[in-house]
Amino acid sequence: MTRERNGKAFRTLLANVGHEFKDPNLLHRALTHASALAPSESVQGSYQRLEFLGDRVLGLVVASMLHAQFPKADEGELARRFNQMVRRETCAEIAEEIQIGDAMQIGQAEAQTGGRKKVALLADMCEAVIAAIYLDGGFEAAKAFVERLWSPRMLSFSGPLRDAKTTLQEWAQSRGLPTPHYDVLSRDGPDHAPRFVVGVTVKGMKQGQGRGGSKRMAEQDAAEAVLRREGVWKE
């Protein structure tokens, strides 16, 4: 891509983002891959540190949106909606919508291997853009950007909303099987932010595993893993 075309792509992206940057270099950095930089510049000059921050900003905004939009939803339903909205594929779809791919600053080798279309890279740079907006304009600016692009997906979500543990128990009973059994397989992390791994066993089936910040969340995740594996729940 020529410098002129890249500049045009950047301006198009800037218009699609809808935020007037006081420091456009933040957005440039959010779009810069390490392959376009000298090794000594790759940490400070690439999108990666911004992606780390943007992931957290996105999570907070989406969680707040769901909390406000679905006041009667329990934790399990909110978690399923949340996971759908912040997953890599959703972020990549939004990156394509605002045309991040054309504005990427990537090395020739990365470009030749389809870097501008890679889901992982599009998703990461989308989160980096959120961080750039946050650093430039504050939380409200980042919130406005996320709400504008993620709200339609929040309202159109059509995935399973029922409690996974209840669904798995009812499904097992409908097949004449005993109630699923849950075991904590591991617990690590500090007391204020633990991580649980839980296994669920349904008689005659391979154990399913789930992870979460609480035992309950990990159990729900494990039950969902079995439901998806067995085709009871589908995307």
Give CA separation, 113 vs 46, 116, 133, 149, 229, in Å: 19, 9, 29, 28, 32
Catalytic residue, candidates 20, 23, 55, 170: 55
How far is it, in rounded angstroms, from Cα 61 to Cα 131? Answer: 12
Residue with tokens 């075309």: 5
The answer to whether the annotation marks 235 as part of a ligand binding site is no
The answer to whether the annotation marks 127 as part of a ligand binding site is yes
Provide CB contacts within 8 A for 50, sequence distance 6+.
26, 29, 30, 127, 128, 129, 131, 132, 135
How far is it, in rounded angstroms, from Cα 31 to Cα 99? Answer: 11
Among candidate residues 196, 192, 227, the one with its CA nearest the CA of residue 210: 196
How far is it, in rounded angstroms, from Cα 201 to Cα 209? Answer: 9
Q: Is 127 noted as a catalytic residue in this protein?
A: yes
Catalytic residue, candidates 110, 127, 219, 224: 127
The answer to whether the annotation marks 163 as part of a ligand binding site is no
How far is it, in rounded angstroms, from Cα 189 to Cα 95? Answer: 33
Q: Is 55 noted as a catalytic residue in this protein?
A: yes
* Region at 153 (left for phi over 0; alpha for psi -120 to 50; beta for the rest): alpha
How far is it, in rounded angstroms, from Cα 220 to Cα 44? Answer: 39
Amino acid letter for position 154: M
Catalytic residues: 55, 127
- Binding annotation for Mg(2+): 51, 124, 127
- Binding annotation: 51, 124, 127
